[in-house]
Structure 1
Amino acid sequence: MKFALDITRAENFPEWYQAVVAQADLAEASPVRGCMIIKPWGWGVWELVQAALDKRIKETGHENCYFPLFIPLSFIAQEAAHVEGFAKEMAVVTHHRLKAADGKLFVDPESELEEPLVVRPTSETIIGDAFRRWVASYRDLPVLINQWANVVRWEMRTRMFLRTSEFLWQEGHTAHADAEDARAETLKMLEVYRELAEDVLAMPVVVGEKPENERFPGADNTFSIEAMMQDGKALQAGTSHYLGTNFAKAQNIRFQSATGDLEFCHTTSWGVSTRLIGGVIMTHGDDDGLRLPPKIAPKQIVIVPMLREKPEDAEVLAYCEKLKSELDRLTAFSAPVRAHLDKKPARAANKRWDWVRRGAPIILEVGPRDMANDSVTLLRRDRLRDGEKIASTGMTRSALMELAPALLADIQAALFDEAKAKRDANIRTDLATFEAVAAYFGEEAEDGAGAFKGWVRAPWSRPTGAELEQVEQRLKAYKLTLRNAPLGQEPAKGKCVFTGRDAVEDILIARAY
């Protein structure tokens, strides 16, 4: 069977992913190693994700603001655990001027900064410094802010959207009078992320708490949403952290309580990034390219006129213009339908496959015969193929206007249901020992194909310290990681697969991005 992409998921999943990014026109590599140029179609997806999340962030009482890209090194050094977590990934500015000589440019050695500046890897330290000034009394709390920004983490192995040296994200930061309020905030934003992933991206996730060794540097607790990609690997799609008073003590963020005592604030931070687009690709893509959930498709319905360089082409285009105008007046998901008429001077078949690869949810083909019958030929991207044939449906223009919003909603729900069914069918719960877990995963194939392996949900006893380090080393031998312990679960039964002691809960084990 011939597909729109030159490589299939089964042949080589990593190469298939790169092919989707390129041929769906989402992004391309930049001249700077490890960075990417997000192209208009990819940016359009990100804008819709951003708008959906920004609305939810504001509805929960947070306000947007902005902090500098550069952070004084002394700020980072105040939080030892934080430095340890990010030290190997930090880009540092040490000079502020170039000098020219003999037609060459070089760093002016006399322009060394008094204090080196770290290019923002995350903003806890510089925002904590502001909180120190902003908070004096319990009356100033809680402080609830968010910023949309870019960050830099000098990654050695990069992959577009999933792990790049520079990426885009939002980071929320809050300060509270007590642990109870801060913990509630942490879980509230975790739920916002779950809703975004499942209701907007149609990407089912497992909500849970990270084990001690996977916590954000300096946090008391880290919670995550984990999504299963089509190759069985886990993707950490968002995190929310309860930081306790660790950053407050490092940066002297204190307030006078109602009783007159000076107390340290309890802080939180939480964020998601452009990695979500990578998650959408690997959750919904097929061997023809991207399949976008309609809620984040920049163009939800694309009209492709079947032109033949004949006199009736003008009539077909006029019919398509009228069709687009009528679609523009419809609403789906409480917003105007995003319709697009592709007038590019190219063969209709080429334009169709271009939109198939980009993942437009609905593609309408209109030729002279369709126009004569006041109808369209509809291709539903999530159900493009019927065996080896392209599945298309003919319908009248009036039927299209009546059905289009419901059809978009059905595509959104169908993509979620399909991904959830795949995930649920591929979480093993019957492996009672580490030996059984290791035997299930075996050795990871090096060619990118190999046998599909899902996740394992296994009982564990929450080992800590040196014992947890031993667990981590045992997992590394199979390129495995602990993902999270799902929230709201029943008390675990049986023995921990790592320690043999009575289990206290289940935890997810998987290979991951």
Structure 2
Amino acid sequence: MSKEITARSQDYSKWYTDLVQKGGLADYSAVKGCMVIKPHGYAIWEAMRDILDRKFKDTGHQNAYFPLFIPKSFLSKEAAHVDGFAKECAVVTHHRLMNDPNGGGVVVDPTAKLEEELIVRPTSETIIWNTYRDWIQSYRDLPLLINQWANVVRWEMRTRLFLRTAEFLWQEGHTAHATAEEAIAETTQMLNVYGDFAEQYMAMPVIRGVKTANERFAGAIDTYCIEALMQDGKALQAGTSHFLGQNFAKAFDVQFSNKENKLEYVWATSWGVSTRLIGGLIMTHSDDQGLVLPPRIAPLQVVIVPIFKGEEQKALIDAKVNALVADLKRLGVSVKYDDSDNQRPGWKFAEYEMKGVPVRVAIGARDIENGVAEVARRDEKTKESMQLDGLADRIQALLEEIQQNLFNKAKAFRDSHITRVDTFEEFQKVLDEKTGFISAHWDGTTETEEKIKELTKATIRCIPLDNPQEEGKCVLTGKPSKERVLFARAY
């Protein structure tokens, strides 16, 4: 099966697409720009969703659901917001179809034009803040901590499975607070929830930072982000958390009576991650043989494949495997015993390697006699013989070892691809030859930021939150600068 995957060194983009399709994650849809998420891909999303949902609830948030359709007039209430999303919006203009009287099939009924067009949500700030106006009256109603699991549509012409599609799945948190300090604390708290999730579960090291004014979410005062580095040296924005100030509260007249019974506008945040995380997971860890999944996010952590001839050997193996499966499940390990007879063991090995199952166990009749099993780990593609006695505990420990190993490898790669430069010549050379993040001084102007992007296709990914102050000169203009920022080409 791995022969069907283009090598990363040959064509990274084709490797990625091959892996998504051959690994059974997603496929192209009849609707241009949209994807079909297949069961294995959706199982990964469910694992991500369940972990994040638990983390959101642990920090006091509740789930709700808001309409898919947004009145067009809502978008025009916050000027920066409509400017940011106007070109990406799908618009509903009619509410009915009819049979063509000329026999041309189904056509739009011209008499069914909507009085006001509806936007298929690109994000939900406007519809939610229109609702919050009725929910918030007093300081006693605050903070309001709401999350929504949903789909959104942003009309994309150049699409890529999981990374950029016209429709995608995500969650979006929308919170209201009595003070700016509370809202900023919420914004940074959720950024850290995302960062911890990426590192602890996805084994994907990230840099926490803040976006420049030019790269902020439309309508935000500040946008915080986590940035990851893929194996081809391109950056991926993996999650964002926005401090919205009072912009949306003022646009939708959301006020509350404070403790002195005076009216104030509330302070807002929004934050989200999407199925783009699956693309990041793939490109952080996978290889030319298929997916490599960290155990804490893998839908299936262990697969056991029997090797036998005849029913007598099969019965002997079944007894041992059933006990092992029960032990693993008691330890909270997701395990499958694949004793199906429709494929040979070698085919199964290749299939589970392609799908990224972290640990594969093979057991034959002779192994039973010797009290051992062959245990293969996907991350290093190594195998070793292990004693059957106590095997469940050893596999559990091995899963944690694999999780940490994947993070360490990804972090070592990321750290070795952060390069400090002081001249524009160095900047271009590193970008073209080494790739990765470039740490360079910038004069703080949007004009310089746009000029560097025009010349190199690199953008400022973030200003790291732990950035030290350092006097220097802008890499392009030579003007004074007080800190370095991180540039990269990105997805």
Scaled by the length of structure 2, the TM-score of the pair is 0.96
The gaps in structure 2 that reach 5 residues or longer are none
What does residue 18 of structure 1 align with?
17
Are 1:77 and 2:76 matched, yes or no?
A: yes
C-alpha distance in 2 between matches for 1:320 and 1:95: 59
Are 1:195 and 2:225 matched, yes or no?
A: no
CA contact (8 A) 2:2 2:354 kept: no
Aligned to 2:271, what secondary structure does the other structure show?
Answer: strand
What does residue 250 of structure 2 align with?
249
Aligned to 2:174, what secondary structure does the other structure show?
Answer: strand
Deviation at 1:258, TM superposition (A): 2.1
Deviation at 1:500, TM superposition (A): 2.2
What does residue 360 of structure 1 align with?
357
> 1:195-220 CA distances to partner (integer Å, 9 max, x unpaired)?
01000100000000000100000111
Greater Cα offset, 337-346 or 121-130: 337-346
Greater Cα offset, 121-130 or 494-503: 494-503
Deviation at 1:504, TM superposition (A): 2.0
The gaps in structure 1 that reach 5 residues or longer are 385-390, 443-450
What does residue 462 of structure 2 align with?
484
C-alpha distance in 2 between matches for 1:439 and 1:382: 32
What does residue 58 of structure 2 align with?
59
The change in CA–CA distance for 1:490 and 1:210 in structure 2 (over 3 A counts) is: same
What does residue 238 of structure 1 align with?
239
What does residue 171 of structure 1 align with?
172
What does residue 143 of structure 1 align with?
144
Deviation at 1:309, TM superposition (A): 5.6
> 1:379-435 CA distances to partner (integer Å, 9 max, x unpaired)?
000110xxxxxx310111114123111111111111000000000011101x11223
Deviation at 1:279, TM superposition (A): 0.3
Deviation at 1:103, TM superposition (A): 5.9
C-alpha distance in 2 between matches for 1:498 and 1:216: 25
Are 1:505 and 2:483 matched, yes or no?
A: yes
1:338 aligned residue (334, 341, 345): 334
What does residue 435 of structure 2 align with?
453
Moved over 4 A (4+): 2-5, 308-311
Are 1:425 and 2:416 matched, yes or no?
A: yes
Give the 5 Å matches for 1:16-55.
16-55=15-54
2:404 alignment partner AA: A
Give the 5 Å matches for 1:255-404.
255-308=256-309, 311-329=312-330, 331=331, 336-344=332-340, 345-384=342-381, 391-404=382-395
CA contact (8 A) 2:225 2:462 kept: yes
C-alpha distance in 1 between matches for 2:43 and 2:135: 36
What does residue 120 of structure 2 align with?
119
1:70 alignment partner AA: F
Deviation at 1:64, TM superposition (A): 0.7
Deviation at 1:502, TM superposition (A): 2.7
C-alpha distance in 1 between matches for 2:64 and 2:15: 38
The change in CA–CA distance for 1:452 and 1:399 in structure 2 (over 3 A counts) is: farther
Deviation at 1:342, TM superposition (A): 1.4
Aligned to 2:249, what secondary structure does the other structure show?
Answer: helix
CA contact (8 A) 2:61 2:145 kept: yes
C-alpha distance in 1 between matches for 2:444 and 2:449: 10
What does residue 473 of structure 1 align with?
451
CA contact (8 A) 2:299 2:334 kept: yes
The change in CA–CA distance for 1:305 and 1:476 in structure 2 (over 3 A counts) is: farther
Please, what is the CA RMSD of the aligned residues? 1.6
